[in-house]
Structure 1
C-alpha cells in the first residue's frame, strides 16, 4: 500500500485478533470466482472507534458496509465537510438503514438491490433502492459481462462491458476495479456515461490475469485501451 502512495497512518492492529482471510476459487473456464471468507469478530469497527476529523479530508469517502454504524458516523462527517460518500456493498448488515441516507453514490453487485428491497426485476429494484438514499443520489449495479446500469434523476444509464483482452482469467476484484474507474472519471469532472465507460474499461483490464490487482492498468495503459491504441493483453 505504501508503494502505491496509500497513507496507512490510521491502519490499526488489534492485539490477539486474527487477520481476516479469504480463499478464492477460480473457474478456469470462465474466470468466475467463489470466495470463502472469515473475519475475526474482534476486527469489527464500532461507532466510538472511528477516527474524528478524518472522513472529510479527501474528495471522496469510499466504503464497504461491514460495520454500518461506524460507516454512518464517518459518512455524516464527510458530507458535512463537502466530501462525496461512495458505497460498495453486497449484503445486508445490521444498522445499514442508518448509513444509506448519507450516501451519494451506491453501486453494488447485481444481487444487492433485490436483497435490500425484495424486488426481483433489476431496474425496478434500483428504483426501489433509490428510496433508501438521498434524493439526489446515484444508485446502480454492476452486471458482469453485461456491463453496468445506474439510475439517477429518473433516468437509467447503461454501459456495456468491454471484451477482456486475451480472455477473462479472473473476476476477483472486478467490482472494485469498476469503482476505481468510475470514481477516477467522476473526480475528473466527467458525466455519468463517461464514468461508467471508464469503470467498465478498468474492470475488463483487471480480469486479464489471476489476482485482484495483478492486471490493474496504469493511467496511460487505460488511455490507450479506451482510444484503441497500444497493447493491452
Structure 2
C-alpha cells in the first residue's frame, strides 16, 4: 500500500469522511423482487462512482463544507473512476492504494426507485490505515464521519482523544449483527434505515442511546420520512418526507444525502428537528436522477428550508413587524482536489 499525495491540505475540514469509496453497476429491472428466471432483458446498464463515503463527501462539499476524504482504493479501473469523479469537486481526497482493489456493488433498481444492492467490500479484516496518514487530517477536522468499513473502527480511540464529534451510518442494521455495534455505540450521531430492524426499529434506536454515547439517532424510512430520537424523547419523533423536486427514479444515495443535509444543519448550530428536515430535503433531491450521487442538493436549497422554518415560527412567536433572523451557512473555504 502506498500513500498518494494529491493536494495541499485544507487548514480545516468541516467534515472529514473516512472509508466508503467504490463503484456501482446499476441494473434497471422491471420490478423487485425479481421473478425467478434464467435471464431478464434490461435497459442499458451503467457504471457510476458511488458508495456511502463518496456520497457523504460529495454531498458535504456541494453544500459548501470544507470536506476531506480518506480511504483505500485499488490501482485499477474502478479506482481510476473514483479519482476522476472526485477531481474538481472540492473534496480533498487522500487515498491509500490497496492491493485488494476497489470496492464494487451491483444495484438492481426498479421503476419506482427502490433498489437491491449486492456489495463486494473486498477489504480483508487485517486492513489498517496508518496513524501517520489519518492523524494529521483528524487534527484539522471539526467533525468526523466514519463509514462502517472494518478498518475505520480503529480510529475511534484517536477521535475520542482529540475530543471530536463523530457520526456514522449503520444502513440497514438489524440491531443484532456484531459488525455494526461498535459504530453504533461509539458515535455521537447515528444514522440507520428502518429496513433492517422493521418493527423493532424503535427499540434498536433506544438501545443505541441507552448503551452508547449517541446524542441523537435518526432512522430513515424512505417515502415514510424519518424518525428522530434523543434522550429527551419517550418515543421517536416523525420527520415527514420532503416532496422531491421531480419524479423519483432512483433511490441510490438518498441515505447518504440525508446525512449530508443533517450534518450541514448541525454544523450551523440548528435544532435537531431542523437538521432532520434538511436531511429529508437533501435525500429527496438524490432520488430525482438515475445513478448514484448524480443530483446533489445545494446550500441555497437548504437555506430556503431554514427560511421557511423561521418564517413559520415568526408567525407564532414574533411581534408584528419583527424580522426573524437566519444564520448564515457554515463559512469554510473548500479545498480543491488535484489529479
- Compute the TM-score of the two structures, normalised by the length of structure 2: 0.58
User: Alignment length, in residue pairs?
Assistant: 216
**C-alpha distance in structure 1 between counterparts of 2:229 and 2:116, whole Å:** 28
Deviation at 1:190, TM superposition (A): 0.3
With over 3 angstroms needed to count, the CA separation of the structure-2 counterparts of 1:6 and 1:144, relative to structure 1, is same
Task: Using the TM superposition, name which of 166-175 and 30-39 deviates more.
Answer: 30-39
The aligned residue for residue 12 of structure 1 is 96
Deviation at 1:226, TM superposition (A): 6.5
**C-alpha distance in structure 2 between counterparts of 1:34 and 1:120, whole Å:** 20
- Compute the TM-score of the two structures, normalised by the length of structure 1: 0.81
The aligned residue for residue 3 of structure 1 is 88
- Stretches of structure 1 lacking an aligned partner (at least 5 in a row): 229-233
Match of 2:226 among 127, 148, 151: 148
Task: Confirm or deny: 8 A CA contact 2:216 2:228 kept in the other structure.
Answer: yes
Deviation at 1:160, TM superposition (A): 0.3
With over 3 angstroms needed to count, the CA separation of the structure-2 counterparts of 1:226 and 1:206, relative to structure 1, is farther
Higher relative contact order (CA 8 A, sep 6+): 2
Task: For 1:33-72, list aligned pairs within 5 A.
Answer: 33-42=115-124, 46-47=127-128, 49-50=130-131, 51-53=133-135, 54-67=137-150, 70-72=151-153
Q: Tell me if 1:173 matches 2:253.
A: yes
The aligned residue for residue 190 of structure 2 is 106
The aligned residue for residue 264 of structure 2 is 184
Q: Tell me if 1:133 matches 2:133.
A: no
Q: For the pair shown, which has the larger CA radius of gyration, 1 or 2? A: 2
With over 3 angstroms needed to count, the CA separation of the structure-2 counterparts of 1:7 and 1:94, relative to structure 1, is same
| Partner-residue secondary structure (3-state), 1:168 | coil
**C-alpha distance in structure 1 between counterparts of 2:224 and 2:207, whole Å:** 21
Task: Confirm or deny: 8 A CA contact 2:184 2:208 kept in the other structure.
Answer: no
With over 3 angstroms needed to count, the CA separation of the structure-2 counterparts of 1:160 and 1:188, relative to structure 1, is same
| Partner-residue secondary structure (3-state), 1:12 | strand
With over 3 angstroms needed to count, the CA separation of the structure-2 counterparts of 1:98 and 1:223, relative to structure 1, is closer
**C-alpha distance in structure 1 between counterparts of 2:304 and 2:139, whole Å:** 33
With over 3 angstroms needed to count, the CA separation of the structure-2 counterparts of 1:125 and 1:171, relative to structure 1, is same
| Partner-residue secondary structure (3-state), 2:138 | coil
**C-alpha distance in structure 1 between counterparts of 2:184 and 2:152, whole Å:** 10
With over 3 angstroms needed to count, the CA separation of the structure-2 counterparts of 1:12 and 1:151, relative to structure 1, is same
Task: Confirm or deny: 8 A CA contact 1:108 1:141 kept in the other structure.
Answer: yes
